[in-house]
Each structure stands twice: as C-alpha cells, then as structure tokens.
Amino acid sequence: MTRLPRWLAAAAIACLAGYIYAYASGRAGMPIRSDAFSYYVYLPAWALYQDPSLQAVADDCCGGEFPDWTAIIRWRFTRQWVNAHPIGEAIMIGPFFAVAHALTRWTNLSPDGFTPYYQHAAGLAGLFYVIAGLWFLQRLLERYFSRGVTTATLVTLLAGTSLYHYATFDSTWSHAFTFVLFSAFLERFDARRQGRISDHVILGLLAGFLILVRHTNVLIPICFYGWDLVGSAVRRKISAPLVPALVATLVVLPQLWIYYRATGHWFISSYGALGFTFDSPHLGGVLVSPTKGLFFYAPLLLLAVPGLFALPGRLRAWRVPLAFLLVVNTYLIASWWDWQFGASYGHRGFVDLYPAFALGLAVTFAAVADRPPLRAALAGAAVALCALSLFQMLQYWHGILPMSDVTWAQYREVFLRWP
C-alpha cells in the first residue's frame, strides 16, 4: 500500500486547520452558500425527496421559489427549474453526503440536506479533493522531476496561489472538483498505454466528470485528444479515442436527460440570458489587474509560464494542447459577462487550470535545482510570494481585501495592512 507522503499529510492538516478557522471563527458562513448551493442542491433533491425537478427542495427551503442568487431559473416555456450549474460536483460529494445523512439520523438533526453535517460534508469533500489532486500531480511530476522539485512545486502551488483558499474557505465551489479531475486526467493521460483498456475507460470517466462539473471543461479532453488525433493523422495512423469518447458520453447523458426533462431540449444554455461578450474580453482584467488578475494575486505563477515551453520527455507533446487550453480558457473567462466571477480571492476561474501551471512551475524549479545561488534566490522569492499570497488571503477572509471590484487605490490602501 502506498503511504501518504509526509508533505501531503502536512498539507492536509494545514488545510483542515484553515477550514476549521474559517468556519469556527464565523468568517465563512456555512459551506453550502452562493454558487455552492446550486452545485449541491441535486443531492437533497435526489436522495431525500426523490425529485429530479428540484421543486421539493424549493418548497422546503425557499417557499416554493428559488431566490435569484441561486442561479436556478424557471425555464420560460415549461416553468420547470433549470440549474445553471451541472450535476458533477453533487455526484462527487455523494459519498460524503451519505455519511452526513447517516450521522444526521444518528444525532436526530433535521434530515433536510442543509443541517450542519451535510454542510461540512460538502465543505470537507472539496478539501479532500484538493489534497487528492495534489496526490495525482505528485504521481505525474515524480515521473519527470526529483522528489524535491515535485514537493517544492506542489507546496508552492498550494500556498502561493488561491488553491489553499479553494481547499478551505470556498471549498464547496466547483474549482476544487475540477482541480482533482484535471490533475487525475493529466496523470492518466501521461501513463496510458494504447493496449490497456482500463486507462481509456478511466480517462473517459474523468473526461465525463470534468464536463459534468463545469461544461467549459470539455476543452480539456478536446485539447489533449484533439492534438493526439492530429499527431496520429500526420503519421497516417489515425487512432480515434473511441472508448474514452463513448464512456464520457455515457457519463454526461444523465445531465442531458435533466435538461431535456426540464426544457424539452437536450442542449441548452443553462445560464439563460447570461452569456459571453466575445468582442470585448477583459484580458488585462483577468490576468494582471488588481481587480482580479491571476498573476497579480498569484505572481508565483509567472514562474510557471517559461517552464511550459520547456516541458521534459513525453510532456513535450503537451505544449500545444496546454497552450491552446490556457489561451482559449483565458479568452472564455475574460469574455464572461461577469469576468470577475463574482466574489473570489484572486481569479477563481483559473484555479481549474492550476494543474497545467504546476507542470511549468516544476520545470522552472528543476532548471535552478543544480545552481545553488539561483536556487537560493528563487526559493527566497517563492517563500516571500507564498507568504504574501497567504497574508492577502487572510485579508480577504477578514473583509480587509474587498470581495470584488478592487481598485488599485483600494489595493494600495490595504497592502500589508492588518487588521
């Protein structure tokens, strides 16, 4: 049996400590809130009320009508509920929900899906999946990098970006769930063997769940399998990924059925009238602005960018699909009508892509591993950036750093300020 690496056990304890602090101090409210409500709501609807229409939950929680903030809307023509958020996260929380339900019965709390055990089952599920994602990334990175580089990469990814925040304070958002699925997808895609059917089935499952957690995640399998297909076509030995495609389709079918049941259509825009503004993307806003810039709040990731061009071994073949994935996803995020993605620490849209950045970060760390002066300088910078990221995250938790619409003047005013 593989033992959990010590650093990963320490990371899990650190995340658990942060989680307990966030909720025991009352900073975070309850785990199932805001977007997390609509990602989670399928579980009580299916498991407690046997009602796929969601109406029973609406009756019980909300007087028959979901409030606007839930992003669950009545479809105009059928008056059925359509949830903007798909079912994948709820399925992944399922095992935790089952334990919570048994405990709820045991303690005699109200078994309505929203009492404390259910709440923290959902919250701890997100935490668990971030740790699991780090474990998958470790398996992948250790094939190409030393243990030291791998550990340094993943520790800095956790502490130097918003990943820790999405493992603790906002662990019920979908990002923790995409993070583990994308990490596992990369790990399996790298390790797959053409003749081993189980690899293709697992990759199909992962691709299906990626789509079920967030529909735009469909880009991940498309980029990797698409580039593979191009390569095989160039070699005139076309091998279409039929097994993964078939498995992924089967996994996604229940979601399509839910859409069909509610609207009469298999494919819909579950966000209703909300959508993209492709002709005016906020690229600067999502990448470098103090409002929500990825590199502004996680400057450590700048170290990952050059590394992505120098991936080692078999990973070199991933340069094009990774570049395509990062560029297209950035354009999509920057074009979303609410390009800030509401309240978040850093830009939460990019948390889903952190596994890709981990690869670039590892390359950069490996490049200086044998050069002591550079290694010391980079280690010093990485520690400082991790400290800055964690400090700003605590500022966010304590309401010092605004949740959205941060201006440069506001940022300067609160920079390194406590309380």
20 contacts another protein (rule: CB under 8 A): no
Of 7-15, 88-96, 101-109, 281-289, the segment contacting another protein by CB under 8 A is 101-109
3-state secondary structure of 61: helix
Peptide bond into 419 cis (omega under 30): yes
Q: How far apart are the first and last CA of the chain?
A: 46
Minimum CB separation of residue 74 from another protein in Å reads: 15
Sign of CA dihedral 92, 20, 183, 342: positive
| b/e sequence 214-252, b meaning 16+ C-beta within 10 Å | bbbbebbbbbbbebbeeeeeeeeeeeebeebbebbeebb
Sign of CA dihedral 245, 250, 252, 256: positive
61 contacts another protein (rule: CB under 8 A): yes
242 contacts another protein (rule: CB under 8 A): no
Beta carbon nearer to another protein, 64 or 195? 64
62 contacts another protein (rule: CB under 8 A): yes
3-state secondary structure of 74: strand
109 contacts another protein (rule: CB under 8 A): yes
Minimum CB separation of residue 77 from another protein in Å reads: 21
State the DSSP string of 70-94: GTEEE-TTT--EEESS-SHHHHHHH
Of 111-119, 224-232, 316-324, 389-397, the segment contacting another protein by CB under 8 A is 111-119
From the list 366, 325, 327, the residue with the least C-alpha distance to 142 is 366
Among 47, 49, 53, 112, the residue binding another protein under the rule CB under 8 A is 112
From the list 329, 325, 397, 358, the residue with the least C-alpha distance to 158 is 358
Of 35-43, 113-121, 162-170, 256-264, the segment contacting another protein by CB under 8 A is 113-121
Separation in Å, CA 73 to CA 45, 77, 147: 16, 12, 48
Q: What is the DSSP letter of 276?
A: B
Beta carbon nearer to another protein, 106 or 418? 106
Minimum CB separation of residue 118 from another protein in Å reads: 11
208 in Cβ contact with 247 (< 8 Å): yes
Beta carbon nearer to another protein, 118 or 357? 118
Minimum CB separation of residue 132 from another protein in Å reads: 20
23 contacts another protein (rule: CB under 8 A): no
Rounded CA-CA distance 232/119 in Å is 47
Question: Which token pair is 340?
Answer: 């800030």
63 contacts another protein (rule: CB under 8 A): yes
95 contacts another protein (rule: CB under 8 A): no
Minimum CB separation of residue 331 from another protein in Å reads: 39
Beta carbon nearer to another protein, 115 or 216? 115
Beta carbon nearer to another protein, 30 or 288? 30
419 contacts another protein (rule: CB under 8 A): no
Minimum CB separation of residue 70 from another protein in Å reads: 12
Rounded CA-CA distance 49/46 in Å is 6
114 contacts another protein (rule: CB under 8 A): yes
Among 25, 107, 269, 404, the residue binding another protein under the rule CB under 8 A is 107
3-state secondary structure of 152: helix
Among 10, 59, 238, 267, the residue binding another protein under the rule CB under 8 A is 59
51 contacts another protein (rule: CB under 8 A): no
Among 5, 94, 111, 272, the residue binding another protein under the rule CB under 8 A is 111
Residue count of the chain, please give it. Answer: 419
3-state secondary structure of 72: strand
Beta carbon nearer to another protein, 103 or 343? 103
Minimum CB separation of residue 44 from another protein in Å reads: 12
What's the burial of 201, exposed, middle or buried (CB within 10 Å: 0-12/13-18/19+)?
middle
Residues 6+ apart with CB under 8 A from 267: 256, 259
108 contacts another protein (rule: CB under 8 A): yes
| Site residues, another protein (CB under 8 A) | 59-64, 67, 103, 106-112, 114-116
